[in-house]
Structure 1
């Protein structure tokens, strides 16, 4: 397997340890943030979705206009844009980006978040809607003839999209950890995204998704998200982690900002809370300190250590069949630059060496 590194860009400087600064749609920062990832050697960058933040389509378009090589992953929640229109919006953006787009479909893990945008459908039903949404979107993308759709959530008559994705196949990433999420992912996902869980629970999810995809004669790739904290020494890295915990705790208490939490309906949040219950440090370098502060509400677990140690930790997930690593820091822009200096090239080098060893061994046997 090849390895892909994903980052995440925001529309202004902000994190758990950095109070939001600048205009809420900071064009200069968006451009610089995307360029920093491209220069650092990332393959793709995620643009997230929130019920009270700027539109991700336009953030992605602006970032794309200021880069030339890096790919994008646009988060989208079904339920607010009709799938026929969403398909055209995705296809148009993919053409604008010369084929650099993938979409990350999120059904929504918080009733509170969904209702802020006017969606009062329950969580289980949201996955049923997502399944139908993706069916219609793919019909618009790949059908050369008009079609009719009469479903439970959507209806369309004589639907057709003149604009198709620039790519022959526009990748669909899929988020969610529930049985319903796995069921839909098995049918539609190209890449299934996990939050940073311990190795044992990540392996369980990988195996469950693979089994579901096999029922539909499909293969699915995997992505996992971490917040690496690097130091020149192990001690320095852990001291940095504790400083981040202290700053995050203070900022959360002072601001009252909860990052859209809690997410009582989210199985992913529950799985991270289970990891928190196992301890502060798991699998040697997996740290749950920030996940504990935010109730496991988003990708908040960290890998802590030297670049060598964190790279070795990533390889253990790679051995589970996970080939996409979404890494973002608590000092977002500066950490992206730091990852590009050593962690990304070091991990690529180790995987290339493994592949070369396998190739040499195979040639020798032949």
Structure 2
């Protein structure tokens, strides 16, 4: 099966430098910021589609624009690109979530993917009116997804549980196809939910040996339940024609970081309840030293950004080597991003993806035809 590659929509803003934020810390840019307008995000969507990305992850949280609304508005400026929409169970009813997903699936032409984010920061959850602790949130997520899947399969659902209660719930129209569930998490509670409900388990970019351990863990839990799961990885990327050029760009990004900003963000992230976030922090220890934690794997992004904090850095061939290495462990989907997202999409799409195609690991979703021209994309003119 051909590898799948997804890009990222920076709905909190973009920059030629690193943009920090997420996981309970405020958004902060270290240079001139590009606003997350529909016009700019539309450029990224069209570029990613032309280059051959399968989908685009859109984040959720207080630090960014709403993922559902943003992607619904962007669906009309693209033809094929799917939208990996992040959302948090517990902030809306499972019946409404199932209905929204079904509506999105119909109106977008079956282009919805769902990234379920349980929420690792209690302070942010409380701001949204959610006062469960972390374990309670994961338990609720399991109940929530059970109800949602039953509704998608056309059942009439009555459910009374510790966290979710619905009576006589039913959808007038079910989604076809049912959108796949992407799910991540490093805690024992997260593993249980992933094994029972995820179609694709996502891990943040850790060294290969750590990723292999996670895959074995989740694969074992899923097998115990008679399920088979695909695996994906979330990484940033800095790729150039030569390794020296790529590492020079990583050095430029690092040099632009204000030490005071690093300290501020690290203090905020240290309060995170997320096991995955603690694993990210352990990779760099909050210092600028020894940030290449594995060949071509750089932890500098995590100095100012919560969540995914590592980047593949190197020549196109080297980045392809690392992708092939992760694939050998069992990773089939790669959710990538860069700074700025528009330009880095082209570095990846014109450098790494063709190398993967030469190695027989990837094929363009549109086949071997030329890049789609803007005039061929419905409503493209309206988004210019």
Provide TM-score, normalisation by structure 2. 0.85
Alignment of 1:121-270 (within 5 A): 121-143=132-154, 145-167=155-177, 169-249=178-258, 252=261, 261-262=269-270, 264-270=272-278
Please name the residue that 2:371 is paired with.
none
* Structure 1, gaps ≥5 residues long: 354-366
Higher strand proportion (structure 1 or 2): 2
Question: Is 2:67 the counterpart of 1:56?
Answer: yes
Please name the residue that 1:45 is paired with.
56
* Alignment partners' CA distance in 2, 1:111 and 1:35: 36
* Alignment partners' CA distance in 1, 2:119 and 2:271: 10
Residues 180, 199 of structure 2: 8 Å contact kept: yes
* Alignment partners' CA distance in 1, 2:333 and 2:271: 25
* Alignment partners' CA distance in 2, 1:23 and 1:327: 20
Please name the residue that 1:11 is paired with.
11
Residues 11, 29 of structure 1: 8 Å contact kept: no
Please name the residue that 2:281 is paired with.
273
Q: CA 1:35–1:303 in structure 2 vs 1: closer, same or farther (change >3 Å)?
A: same
Deviation at 1:22, TM superposition (A): 5.7
Please name the residue that 2:129 is paired with.
118
Deviation at 1:262, TM superposition (A): 4.7
Q: How many residues align?
A: 347
Deviation at 1:21, TM superposition (A): 4.1
CA deviations on 1:124-171 (whole Å, 9 max, x unpaired) are: 11100000010111111112x42211111111111101121131x310
Residues 225, 299 of structure 1: 8 Å contact kept: yes
* Match among 306, 324, 338 for residue 347 of structure 2: 338
Deviation at 1:32, TM superposition (A): 1.3
Deviation at 1:230, TM superposition (A): 1.6
Secondary structure, aligned partner of 2:329 = coil
Which 4+ residue blocks in structure 1 deviate beyond 3 angstroms? 17-24, 248-254, 256-263
* Match among 47, 59, 62 for residue 36 of structure 1: 47
Deviation at 1:252, TM superposition (A): 3.5
Q: CA 1:274–1:262 in structure 2 vs 1: closer, same or farther (change >3 Å)?
A: closer
Secondary structure, aligned partner of 1:230 = strand
Residues 222, 324 of structure 1: 8 Å contact kept: yes
Please name the residue that 2:2 is paired with.
2
Please name the residue that 1:347 is paired with.
356
Secondary structure, aligned partner of 1:248 = coil
Question: Is 2:362 the counterpart of 1:320?
Answer: no
* Alignment partners' CA distance in 1, 2:66 and 2:90: 15
Residues 147, 157 of structure 2: 8 Å contact kept: no
* Alignment partners' CA distance in 1, 2:13 and 2:260: 15
Deviation at 1:241, TM superposition (A): 0.6
* Alignment partners' CA distance in 2, 1:279 and 1:272: 14
Please name the residue that 2:377 is paired with.
none
* Alignment partners' CA distance in 2, 1:201 and 1:269: 14
Q: Which moved more, 1:148-157 or 1:78-87?
A: 148-157
| Root-mean-square deviation (Å) | 2.3
Please name the residue that 2:366 is paired with.
none
* Alignment partners' CA distance in 2, 1:34 and 1:223: 21
* Alignment partners' CA distance in 1, 2:307 and 2:265: 14
* Alignment partners' CA distance in 1, 2:103 and 2:308: 29
* Structure 2, gaps ≥5 residues long: 20-28, 363-384
Q: CA 1:287–1:64 in structure 2 vs 1: closer, same or farther (change >3 Å)?
A: same
Q: Which moved more, 1:190-199 or 1:117-126?
A: 117-126
* Alignment partners' CA distance in 1, 2:267 and 2:124: 11
Deviation at 1:263, TM superposition (A): 5.0
Deviation at 1:59, TM superposition (A): 0.8
